[in-house]
Amino acid sequence: MSVGFVVLAGWLLDAAIGAETYGAMMSYLDTLFGKALLIGWSFAFFFHLSNGVRHLVWDFGRGFEKAEANASAWFVLILAVVLTSLFWWVRL
């Protein structure tokens, strides 16, 4: 996610500089490798977000039983995949 943040900052900087540099950045991000990185970073974001909610529930003292912890771990993983898929489906 740290590298993704640097890329986001560079993208914003290129957008502020002008159309030529923004176009160059977009040509890199529009490649298959660039799209794979963007999808990976969005998955990392949604996984981090979902796990943050899980930890918030833990802060209230719930979900510490082994079965509940395993179920919430799977839920976080599945939710991250679903949110990433929805995000990219809506973008297209």
* Residue 92 clears pLDDT 70, i.e. is over it: no
Kindly report, residue by residue over 16-37, the tens digit of the pLDDT. 999 999 999 999 999 999 999 9
Q: Please give the model's pTM, rounded to 2 decimal places.
A: 0.88
In degrees, rounded to 5, the angle at the alpha carbon of residue 37 between the alpha carbons of residues 34 and 38 is 85
Nearest-CA neighbor of 9 among 20, 25, 24, 27? 25
Domain segments of the chain: what residues? 1-30, 32-92
Mean pLDDT of 7-17: 95
How many Å apart are CA 84 and CA 72, to the nearest integer?
A: 18
